[in-house]
Structure 1
């Protein structure tokens, strides 16, 4: 199994983190995004969108970070990470949508400005980040993880960009429940840290 990734991509880190939490042997293939390795004809055959991460499992190719989380949980029959009951499945889908929406356009976008020089308006994306962080902090007021006492792929999907939000000038100081949740994630067996860049509030 191969994971095509970039070490500073939070989307790629989600997939790398989950592979490690599951203890699945895999090969990491780092792409030099700065020099366009994700736009080569060879890589575009794997993912026509030219994005990381990409998981290659034999002849099967899975693109999109949250799709990779679902695939791995199903492949290894890990109902602890992806429960099968209707209510839990719906709750997880809600958080996967948050990862692709509010997280992508909030803390992820804020970090893209400082780490990759993307031309977004800092005030707008930082405000979005704080809006979703307030919601998540409230959700975690009475539980250790997003769905309850144990982690699921919902937690994996949200972790990376929240953990490194200070790189995008998003201060986590006011979100005690979020910081407690981050620490709980970081204590899980097999946890792999998302490399931090000394930039923004993390400088």
Structure 2
């Protein structure tokens, strides 16, 4: 059966899939979707993809949405080798991190900027905030490329397919300073010189023409060249004002018990068994993974749930975000995006909870139940992970950013409505399933529940009669023996948001 890809050439995400398919020699039956006339909202297409997004892949009845998940699936199933998405765990974790950087940061600002002209009547070519965010994307990517030839290492991968198409489209909005960002220019030129990227150059010209029309003559546009979900990424929204439970340093004993402490120390110092235990503990502590996190952060909680489900021994390092610990030179060396959670496992540093969770299951899981190796099952989980990072979490982030950084004292209706749209999509995705990616618990549930439970508690309550599937799924999640680690953070999150707004 042919592999059908529903696409539009203007879309950077679609171009990423086309470049990947060309790179591995996979022939796709291309079905163009005219977004301007609403083909993605027809009953026929909604049966295929209830979230009405492109690209969408139909591989003999296996439906996969989100370009990042599609690319991972295509390489895993049809690639002659795994060079574009290596099975090596360390390499794959870095690629996953970059893929979520694209969906949650780079591609997100691209979409919100385009939408501001189409739907919000923006007359300014780029607002200072939009320009700042695009420059931040360039800064981050240039920092990545200081270390490696390609975006996730010294070999071309699907992370390059996604980010090259996004950055090329961003450049139509804000030109890249080749002097300041010489690494980016060299990277883009190297990629677009490859035969497989020819489709990217063609599609980017179409995107550029559409952007110029929209940005300069938005008031004359009655139909859009292409349609984007409203996505706003604020990975940093919890980094401005965080609520951190400080677990270190431990409290010192009071004076009444100081003699007991001295007695214990004497016993330790004179006991060979205790010394052996201390040495073994120190060695183990040096080798076990370390997680930098903040409990109030939904992505951090998703990783804490994964750790609990796997029963892993991980060193937990709480970050005092309000004190700027994430901006210290030491932490910035580990993670130039200065986000939590960040995992340090030996010499490997992985950030973005979605990539971290996949890494932890793959390396430390007793089995692959939470993130199956089966390419079809994994593709669906990957899609749900990107649905969280690029839709659910991003929309939540726009609300929180307006409150914590913008000083807004209410939940703005337009932003709340977009969260409701996210609920509607999730309700459809749960049809016939117990969990978000099928009938088995997976890491996708941990990420989505971190976001959804926070939105439900602090932003837009979920009505059980309107969203019975979400309600039933939340109940299943709350019955997990380790769910309390999420609920604790949800309560902190609610208190933080409600302390800033008029209820």
Q: CA RMSD in A?
A: 2.1
Q: Which residue of 1 aligns with 2:187?
A: 181
Instruction: Work out whether 1:171 is the aligned partner of 2:180.
Output: no
Retained in 2: the 8 A contact 1:54–1:61?
Answer: yes
User: What corresponds to 2:273 in structure 1?
Assistant: none
Question: What are the superposed Cα offsets for residues 121-159 of structure 1, whole Å, 9 maximum, x if unpaired?
Answer: 733232111112101112212432012322001111111
Does 2:156 match 1:151? yes
Structure 2 match to 1:101: 104
Distance in 2, Cα, partners of 1:3 & 1:45: 15
The reply on whether 1:12 has 2:21 as its aligned counterpart is: no
Change (3 A) 1:24 1:14: same
TM-score by structure 1 length?
0.89
Match of 2:48 in 1: 46
C-alpha deviation, 1:20, in angstroms: 1.4
State the alpha-carbon separation in 2 of the partners of residues 17 and 118 from structure 1: 30
* CA deviation string 1:71-128 (max 9, x = no partner): 01110243101111221111111111101111122234334556xx243773323211
Residue 21, structure 1, aligned to residue 23, structure 2: yes
Corresponding position of 1:31 = 33
Partner of 2:146, secondary structure, is helix
Compute the displacement of 1:160 (Å).
0.9
The aligned counterpart of 1:195 is: 204
Matched residue, 2:287: none
Partner of 2:113: 110
Q: Secondary structure of 2:130's match?
A: helix
The counterpart of 2:69, out of the listed 67, 70, 76, is 67
User: Aligned runs of 1:111-126 on 2, under 5 Å?
Assistant: 111-113=114-116, 117-119=118-120, 122-126=127-131
Partner-residue secondary structure (3-state), 2:52: coil
Gaps of 5+ in 1: none
- Number of positions where the alignment pairs a residue of Structure 1 with one of Structure 2: 199
Deviation of the 1:171 alpha carbon: 2.0
**CA–CA distance in 2 between the matches of 1:130 and 1:152?**
24
Per chain length, whose mean CA-contact separation is higher, i.e. which structure has more relative contact order (CA < 8 Å, sep 6+)?
1
CA distance in 1, matches of 2:116, 2:204: 17
CA contact (8 A) 1:22 1:190 kept: no
**TM-score relative to the length of structure 2:** 0.37
Max Rg structure: 2
Cα distance per residue 1:13-43 (max 9 Å; x no partner): 1111111122211121111101100000000
Match of 1:84 among 79, 87, 102: 87
Q: Give yes or no for the alignment of 1:131 onto 2:136.
A: yes
